[in-house]
């Protein structure tokens, strides 16, 4: 068989067109924003008692739409998922001396919001297929100081939420779902984000539904909802006028969502099922093309679950392909298909954790946790995540409309071309190593 030379080695790339960026903003969003501008009420919030404590009409309409769709009692819109995680943890009364279990394979805010409460994250290893926190490892990490588990439904697929919730019930812990990447994913017949005591969604510009910056908390717990709303909007001013004698331990910030963001989010939320459907169709096509290739394992979808594919994450086995992962990724990229070798460094390897100092000059809040001498952020504490990140994960975000199924077929073609050129790549790798 004639082999086309690899683009990395001077040949022509399979794909020579740039891909469009993700943009699902249409006339609906534009009209909704113009309505807000025409009315002049760009925010409906006031940090004082009364109707305006709860925000403007679009913020409340967005919250009502989430309650309706996710069949929850409460939704609290905020200005980002980071704010939503922080507000939820504060509403759960997480504070200094507390430990919160979380996966290290996630965006940093899943853990920094724990530090912002004065508590410390305890990083727990992940499962090799969901890439989410491992419930057995979580059980083993519980100490007398553990107060909550943050389950991140990473890449668009839910964590194993039932065992995590059962663990929380057994030990009197809160389960907070960081559902920033998995809007409308299904976990055993229920919506991801609604299995925990609270769930948080992100509407930042990169998410499947977006409003620039924004987020929302969903919960069935009256107290969490009220405390999160107080935290969102200068709650310290409200405890007295609202007669909240049992929750005086509240301070507030300004995590309020504006009316323009809410207006966009409402329109995007209407589109969410269709936006997810388009991604799922593209990813299923890609999986059909990749699943027979040696050394490439497409994302798994577990029984009674759905995957909404924020990222398309594959596992790569260089013992089978004979090509080191990073070299394979470089060759694929050179063919015009941007893949990433790895997602993010496990969070505990960041300087913040290595130096154990987050706020002020004296090691707070880590210094509050001296009772637990075992708290460690040393390399090696989560071997699964380290192995996956350094050797196995390959991912792409190019799985959105207006890309088409034909584009997915081209991606498969790229993989096949690189795999077929293993020998040329190996000898080029050897020459490069010899020249070093
Ligand atoms: C898993 C996860 N959690 C939290 C966040 C924070 O979201 P936001 O940018 O809305 O604050 C993100 C954003 O990328 C995320 O992916």
Residue 82 Cα, ligand 1 centroid: separation in angstroms?
6
* C-beta of 301 in contact with ligand 1 (< 6 A): no
* C-beta of 80 in contact with ligand 1 (< 6 A): yes
* Domains present along the chain, CATH in parentheses: 27-269 (3.40.640.10)
* C-beta of 81 in contact with ligand 1 (< 6 A): yes
Closest residue by Cα to atom 9, ligand 1, is 204
pLDDT at 1: 47
* C-beta of 334 in contact with ligand 1 (< 6 A): no
pLDDT at 372: 64
Determine the angle formed by the axes of helices 27-39 and 259-290, rounding to 10 degrees.
170
Element (H, E) at 379: none
* CA–CA separation, 340 and 395 (whole Å): 5
Summarize pLDDT for 73-111 with one digit per residue, the tens: 999 999 999 999 999 999 999 999 999 999 999 999 999
SS3 of residue 149 by DSSP: strand
* C-beta of 204 in contact with ligand 1 (< 6 A): yes
Residue 284 Cα, ligand 1 centroid: separation in angstroms?
25
Kindly give the number of the ligand 1 atom that is closest to the alpha carbon of 106. 1
SS3 of residue 114 by DSSP: helix
* CA–CA separation, 293 and 273 (whole Å): 31
Residue 253 Cα, ligand 1 centroid: separation in angstroms?
19
Q: First vs last Cα of the chain: how many Å apart?
A: 33
- Is 315 an annotated catalytic residue? no
* C-beta of 265 in contact with ligand 1 (< 6 A): no
Probe residue for ligand 1, chosen from 82, 86, 214 as the CB with the greatest number of ligand atoms within 8 Å: 82
pLDDT at 368: 81
pLDDT in tens, the chain (436 residues): 457 899 999 999 999 989 999 999 999 999 999 999 999 999 999 999 999 999 999 999 999 999 999 999 999 999 999 999 999 999 999 999 999 999 999 999 999 999 999 999 999 999 999 999 999 999 999 999 999 999 999 999 999 999 999 999 999 999 999 999 999 999 999 999 999 999 999 999 999 999 999 999 999 999 999 999 999 999 999 988 988 877 777 889 999 999 999 999 999 999 999 999 999 999 999 999 999 999 999 999 999 999 999 999 999 999 999 999 999 999 999 999 999 999 999 999 999 999 999 999 888 999 887 666 678 999 999 999 999 999 999 999 999 999 999 999 999 999 999 999 999 998 876 666 566 5
Choose among 300, 292, 266, 310: nearest CA to 400. 310
pLDDT at 430: 65
* C-beta of 88 in contact with ligand 1 (< 6 A): no
* C-beta of 202 in contact with ligand 1 (< 6 A): yes
* C-beta of 180 in contact with ligand 1 (< 6 A): yes
- Judging by DSSP bridges, how do beta strands 296-297 and 190-191 pair with one another? unpaired
Residue 423 Cα, ligand 1 centroid: separation in angstroms?
41
SS3 of residue 406 by DSSP: helix
Summarize pLDDT for 384-417 with one digit per residue, the tens: 999 999 999 999 999 999 999 999 999 999 999 9
* CA–CA separation, 136 and 134 (whole Å): 6
Q: Are 299 and 313 in contact (CB under 8 A)?
A: yes
pLDDT at 50: 92
Residue 180 Cα, ligand 1 centroid: separation in angstroms?
5
Closest residue by Cα to atom 7, ligand 1, is 81
Kindly give the number of the ligand 1 atom that is closest to the alpha carbon of 154. 1
* Residue 126 phi, psi (nearest 5): -110, 170
Structure-block tokens of residue 247: 């929750």
Distances (CA, A) of 220 to 21, 70, 299: 37, 10, 31
Residue 214 Cα, ligand 1 centroid: separation in angstroms?
10
**pTM of structure:** 0.97
Q: Are 258 and 40 in contact (CB under 8 A)?
A: no
Probe residue for ligand 1, chosen from 80, 107, 154, 308 as the CB with the greatest number of ligand atoms within 8 Å: 107
- How many CB atoms sit inside 10 A of residue 298's CB? 18
pLDDT at 250: 81
Q: Are 344 and 21 in contact (CB under 8 A)?
A: no
Catalytic residue among 207, 227, 315, 333: 207
Closest residue by Cα to atom 14, ligand 1, is 107
């Amino acid at each position: 068989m004639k082999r086309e030379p690899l683009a990395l080695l001077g040949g022509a790339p399979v794909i020579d067109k740039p891909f469009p960026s993700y943009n699902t903003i249409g006339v609906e969003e534009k009209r909704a924003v113009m309505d807000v501008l025409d009315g002049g009420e760009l925010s409906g919030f006031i940090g004082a008692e009364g109707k305006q404590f709860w925000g403007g009409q679009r913020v409340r309409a967005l919250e009502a739409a989430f309650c309706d769709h996710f069949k929850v009692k409460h939704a609290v819109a905020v200005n980002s998922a980071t704010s939503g995680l922080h507000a939820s943890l504060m509403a759960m009364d997480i504070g200094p001396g507390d430990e919160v279990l979380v996966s290290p394979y996630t965006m940093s805010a899943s853990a920094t919001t724990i530090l912002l409460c004065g508590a410390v994250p305890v990083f727990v290893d992940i499962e090799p297929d969901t890439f989410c926190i491992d419930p057995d490892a979580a059980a083993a990490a519980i100490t007398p100081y553990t107060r909550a588990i943050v389950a991140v439904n990473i890449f668009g697929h839910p964590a194993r939420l039932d065992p995590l919730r059962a663990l929380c019930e057994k030990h009197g812990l809160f389960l907070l779902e960081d559902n920033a990447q998995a809007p409308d994913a299904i976990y055993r017949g229920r919506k991801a984000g609604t299995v925990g005591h609270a769930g948080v969604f992100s509407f930042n510009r990169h998410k499947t539904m977006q409003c620039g910056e924004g987020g929302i908390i969903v919960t069935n717990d009256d107290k969490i909802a009220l405390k999160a709303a107080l935290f969102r909007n200068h709650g310290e001013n409200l405890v007295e006028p609202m007669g909240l004698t049992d929750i005086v331990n509240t301070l507030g910030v300004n995590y309020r969502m504006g009316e323009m963001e809410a207006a966009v989010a409402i329109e995007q939320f209407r589109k969410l099922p269709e936006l997810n459907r388009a991604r799922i169709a593209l990813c299923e096509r890609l999986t059909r093309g990749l699943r027979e290739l040696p050394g490439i394992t497409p994302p798994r979808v577990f029984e009674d679950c759905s995957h909404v594919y924020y990222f398309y994450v594959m596992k790569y086995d260089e013992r089978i392909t004979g090509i080191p992962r990073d070299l394979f990724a470089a060759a694929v990229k050179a063919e015009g298909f941007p893949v990433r070798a790895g997602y993010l460094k496990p969070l505990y390897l960041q300087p913040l954790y290595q130096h154990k100092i987050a706020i002020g000059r004296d090691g707070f809040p880590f210094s509050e946790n001296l009772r637990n001498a075992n708290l460690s952020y040393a390399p090696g504490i989560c071997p699964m995540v380290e192995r996956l990140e350094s050797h196995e994960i390959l991912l792409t975000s190019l799985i959105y409309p207006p890309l088409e199924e034909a584009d997915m077929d081209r991606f498969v073609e790229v993989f096949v071309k690189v795999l077929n050129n293993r020998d040329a790549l190996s000898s080029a790798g050897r020459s490069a190593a010899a020249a070093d």
